[in-house]
Amino acid sequence: MTRHIPALDRDTAAIGLGCMGMSWAYTTPEDRDDADSIEVVRAALDRGITLLDTSDAYSSGHNETLVGRAIAGRRDEAIVTTKGGLVSSYVDGRPHLERDGRPEHLRAAIDASLARLGVETIDLYYLHRVDTAVPLEDSWGTLAEAVAQGKIRALGLSEVTTDEAERAHAIHPVAAIQSELSLWTRDALGVGTNSDGTPAGDVVDWAAAHDAIFVPFSPLGRGFLTGTLDTQALPANDFRARLPRFTGSAAKANQRIIDVVRHVATRHETTPAAVALAWVLSQGEHVIPIPGTTKIARLDENLTVADLVLSPDDLAELNALPAAEGARY
């Protein structure tokens, strides 16, 4: 099972690899294991998973450096995607992010990312978030300049509305949109709203209509949809321990979602993770989810989605799942 990326004219596996958790949010600088993570990235390349997703915000560039080390000597195999426009730090031991879409920041960020990744050109570069203090046209125009300079091949947006995508696309083609999408987070399908309460729009459909790929992050609901996560046993350094959906009564209520996913998985003699990924992939041929993992065994488990075909009845049952209890953050 493969997917095509029109802006790069390249094919890749139907799933990519989200590398954030190797450096950020699920671990701390003291606990991460770079050697193991590098082996996972290289194992992904061995298996044809070439779309590698990172960001300069993931532990202040550490994740980009890690990915750069992993692809050394194998640059031509990898589709390197990174992001700029968020600045990361730790506040009281917890991950903290602030938006910065100023042109001067983005220019410096691109050059720093190229150095950390050890590449001459970034295949796909996202504006990580729209900075409301800076006109989108200024931020996006700066990224378009970097394309003209040969530093970037294609541009993407992360967590945007269809209106924002249209504004950017009028300046330079939007090659990709990245947003959260899973069985328990469906805002990208048009059910979400802007901060002022107006509809955000169906960005999955927008991407298809504009020959762009849609890249869902957290397609396994940050691990919840694997059916193996004990929310009460999350360590203090794992940011999920503070997320509303993973705590208290919400965590208990959300078990009804995984119960249905398990039921479908049993019917197909597969895993809940494979079912969750198959549902995401069913949203369109332009959809390339990026599940993250720090274990090669989980990487192989995710790849079993290639052998799974959900029936119309399966999809109807999954589409009828209730909305998740609790906010995303």
234 pLDDT tier (thresholds 50, 70, 90):
confident
Mean pLDDT throughout 14-20?
97
At residue 42, the pLDDT reads: 98
Q: Give start and end residues of each alpha helix (H) in the chain.
A: 34-46, 62-71, 103-117, 136-148, 162-169, 203-209, 248-253, 255-268, 272-281, 296-303, 312-319
Which of helix, strand or coil describes residue 62? helix
Mean pLDDT throughout 256-274?
96
Active-site entry in 58, 90, 125, 126? 58
Q: Is 80 exceeded by the pLDDT of residue 321?
A: yes
> What is the DSSP annotation of 113-134?
HHHHHT-SSEEEEEE-S--TTS
Q: What percent of the chain stands above pLDDT 70?
A: 96
**Residue 169 is encoded by which pair of tokens?**
């696309």
pLDDT, one tens digit per residue, over 31-66 is 789 999 999 999 999 999 999 999 999 999 999 999
Mean pLDDT throughout 191-218?
86
**Residue 279 is encoded by which pair of tokens?**
């549902």
Residue 48 buriedness (CB in 10 A; 0-12 / 13-18 / 19+):
middle
26 is catalytic: no
Rounded-to-integer distance, Cα 266 and Cα 202, Å: 31
**Residue 201 is encoded by which pair of tokens?**
């729009």
At residue 116, the pLDDT reads: 98
| H/E segment holding residue 178 | strand 176-180
Q: Is 70 exceeded by the pLDDT of residue 196?
A: no
At residue 159, the pLDDT reads: 94
Rounded-to-integer distance, Cα 32 and Cα 23, Å: 6
**Residue 97 is encoded by which pair of tokens?**
């992010």
At residue 304, the pLDDT reads: 95
pLDDT, one tens digit per residue, over 73-89 is 999 999 999 999 999 87
Mean pLDDT throughout 154-164?
96
Rounded-to-integer distance, Cα 203 and Cα 190, Å: 7
**Which residue has 């031509």 as its token pair?**
76
**Closest CA relative to residue 82, chosen from 119, 136, 37, 133:** 119
At residue 191, the pLDDT reads: 82
2-5 vs 51-53, strand pairing mode: unpaired
193 pLDDT tier (thresholds 50, 70, 90):
low
- Residue 76 — φ and ψ, nearest 5°? -70, -20
Instruction: Report the mean per-residue pLDDT for the chain.
Output: 93
Domains of the chain from N-terminus onward: 2-222+272-308 (3.20.20.100)
Q: Is 80 exceeded by the pLDDT of residue 149?
A: yes
Q: Is 90 exceeded by the pLDDT of residue 18?
A: yes
Q: Is 90 exceeded by the pLDDT of residue 29?
A: no
Q: Is 80 exceeded by the pLDDT of residue 195?
A: no
Q: Is 90 exceeded by the pLDDT of residue 182?
A: yes
At residue 197, the pLDDT reads: 62
Q: Is 90 exceeded by the pLDDT of residue 90?
A: no
Bigger pLDDT: 135 vs 97 = 135
Residue 104 buriedness (CB in 10 A; 0-12 / 13-18 / 19+):
exposed
152-158 vs 213-217, strand pairing mode: unpaired
At residue 257, the pLDDT reads: 95
Which of helix, strand or coil describes residue 187? coil
